[in-house]
Structure 1
Amino acid sequence: MDFLKTFSLFVLTALAEIVGCYLPSLWFSQGRSAWWLLPGAASLALFAWLLSLHPAASGRVYAAYGGVYIAVALLWLWGVDGLKPRPSDWLGAGLALAGMAVIVMGEREGG
């Protein structure tokens, strides 16, 4: 159950980070209103707060989070940008998620 809770928190954290970067990019690259910067900044603040909720906020947690971020970014690419990920993208995401699982499960060993 702890793994599912950690994974879910990683997914929410990744979404907050992606939204926090995506909204300002609408202003920079597509000429949207500068008002997009406000929810973008709020989303990045949410990202930082969510990252602090992990019980062991450390380099190990951030490394594990990176695997989930990769997978969520590919889903964003598909769902928001409308670009279907390639099989090699999915393979890379699977490897990253496997690495994340190894890191998270290894925390049970102590060190």
Structure 2
Amino acid sequence: MELLKATVLFTITAVVEIVGCYLPWLVIKQNKPLWLLLPAALSLALFAWLLTLHPSAAGRTYAAYGGIYIAVALAWLHWVDGVSLTRWDVAGATVAMVGMLIIMLQPASA
């Protein structure tokens, strides 16, 4: 249950982080309105707060989060940017997720 809870929280955190970075990208690269920087800043503040909700040490949390972030970023690439994923994308995300699982499932006394 803890793994599922952490995975869901990591997924939400990743989406919030990506939104916080994507909106400024739209402003800079696609000349979208400057007001998009406000929700971007709020999104990044929410991202930082969400990372504090994990009980593990910060470094371990960030390391495990990285695996989920990679998978969510590739999902964003596909669904938002409309880019087809390659088998290399899928393989890389799989390796990252395995790494996340190794970190998350380590024995408590390790």
1:27–1:34 Cα contact (<8 Å) kept: yes
TM-score (norm 2): 0.97
The question of 1:73 aligning with 2:73 is answered yes
The question of 1:59 aligning with 2:59 is answered yes
Name the CA distance, whole Å, in 1 between partners of 2:46 and 2:38: 12
Supply the RMSD in Å over aligned alpha carbons.
Answer: 0.8
TM-score (norm 1): 0.96
Q: CA shift at 1:109, angstroms?
A: 2.5
In structure 2, list runs of 5 or more residues that go unmatched. Answer: none
Query: Which residue of structure 1 aligns with residue 3 of structure 2?
Result: 3
Q: CA shift at 1:62, angstroms?
A: 0.5
Name the CA distance, whole Å, in 2 between partners of 1:57 and 1:42: 24
Q: Give 3-state SS (helix, strand or coil) of 1:110's partner.
A: coil
Q: Deviations over 1:20-63 (max 9, x none)?
A: 00001110000011000000001001100100101124211110
1:11–1:68 Cα contact (<8 Å) kept: yes
Q: CA shift at 1:12, angstroms?
A: 0.5
Give the direction of change, closer, same or farther, for the CA distance of 1:48–1:38 in structure 2 (3 Å limit): same
Runs of 4+ off more than 4 Å: none
Q: CA shift at 1:110, angstroms?
A: 2.5
